[in-house]
A and B are shown apart, each in its own frame.
Chain A
C-alpha cells in the first residue's frame, strides 16, 4: 500500500520527501504533504513532524516510546545545560558566601561529630582512618548523594510554571539537576582533596577510581529521587517525610559511624545498599583497599535498571501531574 502510494505521488514529490517516506512508519497518510513552508523556512527539515495525542498509555507501543525517550534526552541536553547554568549563576550571584554554601553544611556536620567524639559525649568505635578524616569524607560523600536524591523533586517543583505552560523535553529538568549536583560535587571534591593533602594522606592510584564512586552515588541518588518525584509532586507529604527518613538512613550507613562488627545493627548496615557505595567511594579516595566491590557493582547495575524504569514512569506521569498542577 505504502509503496504504491509513494510511487503514485512520486512525480509531485521532491526527493527528500521520498526518503522521509521510506523511513517513516505507516502512519503517514497524506503522501503529497506540503513542502512549501519547509523549503522556505527550514531547509534543514524536509518533512513535517507528526505528533498524535490519544488517551492511550504510551506503554502500548514500547518501541516508539523508547525512541522518543532517547530523542528527547538528546534534544534536552542543551536546555538542561542552560537551565543548570542559569540556576548555578542565580544561586551564587545572590549569595555573599557564594560557592562556600556547597560545603558549609557537611562541614558543620563534620565539626559537630568531631566535637562529640573528642569530648566523649558519643562513644564511637575505632576507625581505620583518623576519625576526623573518616567523618569528613563520609559526610561530604553523603551530601553528594543527598543532593542527587533531592534534585529531581526540587527541579520539577521549581519549574512548575514552565511545565504547565510550555512543551519542552521533560528530561531536561532531570539532566539539569544532575549537572548541578555534579557542579556542587566538584567543589566538595576539591575541598576533600585539599584536606587529605593537608593531613598528608596520600590516596595513591586508587584515586583514579574515585570519580566512579561519585558517579554511582549520583546515579543511585537520581534513581531514588526520580522514583519518589511523581508522588512527591502530587502530595507534599513526600517532601516533608524525606529529610526524616534520610536522617535515619544516614545513621545506618557508615557515614559518621564505622561498620558495627556484630549484632542486628551490623546486619542492618550490611543490608543497606548505600553502605557499599559510601564505603567503596571513601576507600578509593583514601587509598584503603575496598572490601565490598562485588556488592558495589551489583548496587550500580540495579540502579541503572531502576533509573530506566523510573524514567519511563516519569515520562508517563508528567501529563497526569501537569493536569493536577494548575487548573
Chain B
C-alpha cells in the first residue's frame, strides 16, 4: 500500500549565466520543442551554461514533509518550479500524483484597483477553485484574514499585511495532495502567524509536502526528511532532521579575519570534553552536556594586561550568551598580564537547542575601552538535538 505522491528520478536542469545567450538558447529550445526533436536527456552544456539542479532523486509519501535547505542559488526554487510543472527538466523524470497546491505566490493576480472581494474570486480561480466553491468558502476566507471591514475596499488601500493575509487565506482553502511551500510560512503579525502555522499544519497532515526555508526552526518543526542542496546537487538526503540541519549549517561557516587594535594573539582554542563526537567535521554535543574551552594566547606589552569575554553565537553570528572570564568566585574580570597564558574555562551546561554554534573571543583593556583583539569562530560545535527553537537558549523548568 505504498502512497508515494512525488517521485523524482535523476532530475537535472541547466541555466545560462549570460542573458543574451539565454534568450538565444530559448529560441533554439523553442525550435527543438516545436519540431519534436527534444527527446530524451539533454546532457551536453552549451557555452555559459551550468547545472542549476543536478541529478536529484527522492520519493515522498503522503504525510511526509521534505525540508529543502541549502545556500542561495543551490537550486531549491528551480527544483520546486519543475515539480510544479512550470519548467521542464532537462534530464530525468518527475511523477506527481494528485492535486498540486503551491503556497508560493500569495495573492497572485491581485489587481490593486479592485476590491478585496473581487480579488478573492480572481485569485481563487487562478488557484483552481470553481465559483461554487468560492461562494461557499468566501466567508471562511474573509474571517480567516480578519478583514471583514475592508473586503469591499480596493486592495491598493490595504496595508501590506492585510494583502498577504488575504492572499494566504485564499490559498489556505485548498486541500492539495502535494503541497509546495516556499518561505511563506509566516505572514502578517504575530497573532496571524500563529494562525498560519496551525493552518499549514492542517494542510500538511494529509499531503506530501515540500518545504523550502532558510529557517531551521521551521524545518525542524515541520520536516520529516531533509534534503541539503549545494550547487544544484544533493549534499545529503536524510530522514534525521537534525543531521540535515547540521550538514546545512556547516555549509554556511565562513571565517572572518580577527579584528581589533592588536596586542593580543590567539594561539590555540579547543573544546575539550570527553564525550563529544566528530560528525561531518563538526564537534557534536548532546544538549545539557557541560562545555569546556581551552585557550592559549599571548598578551604583549599592553599596559596592565587584558581581560577576556567569551561569546557563543548561533550560525548567523548573532550572540546568544556572553561569558565574562572572572577572578576566582568574584564578579570582577581576571586581568591577564603580558605573557603567554593557557586557560581552561568551564562554560557550564549547554542549555542551547539544536543547531550550530560558534565561540568568539574578545580581548579588552581593563576598563573595557579598547578592543585588543576580536576573534570570530575560534571554535564551533553542534548541539545534536531535535529540540530547535527561535530562542536558542531553552531551559527546563522543574515543578517544585
Q: Which residues of A contact B (CB under 8 A)?
A: 30, 32-34, 37, 40-42, 45, 48-57, 59-60, 78-79, 82-83, 86-87, 89-90, 93-94, 159, 161-168, 230-231, 234-235, 312-313, 316-317, 319-324, 327
Question: With an 8 A cutoff between CB atoms, is B56 at the interface?
Answer: no
How far does the alpha carbon of A53 sit from the alpha carbon of B33 in the complex, in Å? 14
Q: Is the CB of A86 within 8 A of B118?
A: yes
Question: With an 8 A cutoff between CB atoms, is B87 at the interface?
Answer: yes
Q: Which residues of B contact A168 (CB under 8 A)?
A: 126-128
Are A320 and B29 CB-contacts (below 8 A) given A37-B177, A48-B177, A164-B86?
A: yes
Q: Is the CB of A234 within 8 A of B95?
A: no
> Which residue of the partner chain A has the closest CB to B9?
A54
Segment touching A, from B39-47, B158-166, B343-351 = B39-47
Question: With an 8 A cutoff between CB atoms, is B277 at the interface?
Answer: no
Question: With an 8 A cutoff between CB atoms, is B272 at the interface?
Answer: no
Q: Is the CB of A317 within 8 A of B33?
A: yes
Q: Is the CB of B1 within 8 A of A82?
A: no
> Which residue of the partner chain B has the closest CB to A169?
B128
How far does the alpha carbon of A144 sit from the alpha carbon of B40 in the complex, in Å? 44
Are A167 and B29 CB-contacts (below 8 A) given A57-B37, A235-B23?
A: no
Are A165 and B105 CB-contacts (below 8 A) given A94-B113, A322-B86?
A: yes
Q: Is the CB of B125 within 8 A of A79?
A: yes
Question: With an 8 A cutoff between CB atoms, is B260 at the interface?
Answer: no
Which of B33, B62, B87, B105 interacts with A34 by CB under 8 Å? B62
Q: Is the CB of B23 within 8 A of A234?
A: yes
- In the complex, what's the smallest C-beta–C-beta distance from B151 to chain A, in angstroms? 16
Are A49 and B97 CB-contacts (below 8 A) given A57-B32, A166-B108?
A: yes
Are A34 and B1 CB-contacts (below 8 A) given A50-B95, A316-B34, A317-B34?
A: yes
- In the complex, what's the smallest C-beta–C-beta distance from A180 to chain B, in angstroms? 14
Q: Is the CB of A37 within 8 A of B62?
A: yes
Q: Is the CB of B26 within 8 A of A234?
A: yes
Question: With an 8 A cutoff between CB atoms, is B94 at the interface?
Answer: yes
Which of A59, A161, A167, A312 interacts with B84 by CB under 8 Å? A167
- In the complex, what's the smallest C-beta–C-beta distance from B93 to chain A, in angstroms? 5
Q: Is the CB of A162 within 8 A of B105?
A: yes
Name the residue among B32, B34, B102 with the largest chain A CB count within 10 angstroms: B34
> Which residue of the partner chain A has the closest CB to B17?
A327
Q: Which residues of A contact B26 (CB under 8 A)?
A: 234, 320-321, 323-324
Could you jot down 10 A-B contacts, CB within 8 Å?
A: A30-B4, A42-B175, A49-B97, A50-B95, A52-B94, A55-B39, A82-B122, A165-B86, A167-B86, A168-B126
Are A86 and B32 CB-contacts (below 8 A) given A162-B109, A165-B105?
A: no
Question: With an 8 A cutoff between CB atoms, is B99 at the interface?
Answer: yes
Which of A52, A162, A235, A312 interacts with B95 by CB under 8 Å? A52
How far does the alpha carbon of A231 sit from the alpha carbon of B82 in the complex, in Å? 22
> Which residue of the partner chain B has the closest CB to A312?
B34
Q: Is the CB of A322 within 8 A of B175?
A: no
With A313-B34, A327-B15 given, name 19 new contacts (CB 8 A). Answer: A37-B98, A41-B206, A49-B99, A52-B96, A53-B82, A53-B93, A54-B89, A59-B33, A59-B35, A79-B125, A82-B121, A86-B119, A90-B114, A162-B109, A162-B126, A164-B86, A168-B126, A320-B33, A323-B29
Which of A55, A79, A86 interacts with B88 by CB under 8 Å? A55
Name the residue among A30, A89, A231, A320 with the largest chain B CB count within 10 angstroms: A320
Instruction: List residues of B (77-116) whose CB comes within 8 Å of A's CBs.
Output: 81-82, 84-100, 102, 104-105, 108-109, 111, 113-114
Instruction: List residues of B (354-386) whose CB comes within 8 Å of A's CBs.
Output: none
- In the complex, what's the smallest C-beta–C-beta distance from A280 to chain B, in angstroms? 33
Are A34 and B126 CB-contacts (below 8 A) given A60-B39, A319-B87?
A: no
Which of A48, A57, A83, A164 interacts with B122 by CB under 8 Å? A83
Q: Is the CB of B114 within 8 A of A78?
A: no
Q: Is the CB of B87 within 8 A of A322?
A: yes
- In the complex, what's the smallest C-beta–C-beta distance from A190 to chain B, in angstroms? 25
Question: With an 8 A cutoff between CB atoms, is B131 at the interface?
Answer: yes
Q: Is the CB of A41 within 8 A of B175?
A: yes
How far does the alpha carbon of A232 sit from the alpha carbon of B231 in the complex, in Å? 32
How far does the alpha carbon of A106 sit from the alpha carbon of B34 in the complex, in Å? 37
- In the complex, what's the smallest C-beta–C-beta distance from A41 to chain B, in angstroms? 5
Are A319 and B96 CB-contacts (below 8 A) given A55-B40, A78-B130, A93-B113?
A: no
Name the residue among A30, A45, A94, A324 with the largest chain B CB count within 10 angstroms: A324
- In the complex, what's the smallest C-beta–C-beta distance from B328 to chain A, in angstroms? 60
Question: With an 8 A cutoff between CB atoms, is B213 at the interface?
Answer: no
Q: Is the CB of A161 within 8 A of B34?
A: no
How far does the alpha carbon of A317 sit from the alpha carbon of B87 in the complex, in Å? 10
Q: Is the CB of B114 within 8 A of A89?
A: yes
Q: Which residues of A contact B85 (CB under 8 A)?
A: 51, 53, 167, 319
Q: Is the CB of B34 within 8 A of A166?
A: no
Question: With an 8 A cutoff between CB atoms, is B27 at the interface?
Answer: yes
Which of A52, A56, A165, A320 interacts with B108 by CB under 8 Å? A165
Per-residue CB contact flags for chain B residues 119-155 toward chain A (1 = under 8 Å, else 0) read 1011001111011000000000000000000000000
How far does the alpha carbon of A93 sit from the alpha carbon of B131 in the complex, in Å? 23
Which of A50, A167, A322 interacts with B102 by CB under 8 Å? A167
Q: Which residues of A contact B99 (CB under 8 A)?
A: 42, 45, 49
Q: Is the CB of A51 within 8 A of B30?
A: no
Q: Is the CB of B88 within 8 A of A53?
A: yes
How far does the alpha carbon of A37 sit from the alpha carbon of B15 in the complex, in Å? 37
Q: Which residues of A contact B119 (CB under 8 A)?
A: 86
- In the complex, what's the smallest C-beta–C-beta distance from A90 to chain B, in angstroms? 5
Q: Is the CB of A165 within 8 A of B104?
A: yes
Q: Which residues of B contact A33 (CB under 8 A)?
A: 3, 97
Q: Which residues of B contact A230 (CB under 8 A)?
A: 30
How far does the alpha carbon of A94 sit from the alpha carbon of B156 in the complex, in Å? 12
Question: With an 8 A cutoff between CB atoms, is B389 at the interface?
Answer: no
9 residue pairs, one from A and one from B, having the closest CB atoms: A59-B36, A165-B105, A57-B38, A48-B98, A53-B94, A34-B3, A324-B26, A82-B125, A316-B33
Question: With an 8 A cutoff between CB atoms, is B215 at the interface?
Answer: no
Question: With an 8 A cutoff between CB atoms, is B22 at the interface?
Answer: yes
> Which residue of the partner chain A has the closest CB to B91?
A55
Which of B23, B36, B84, B96 interacts with A50 by CB under 8 Å? B96
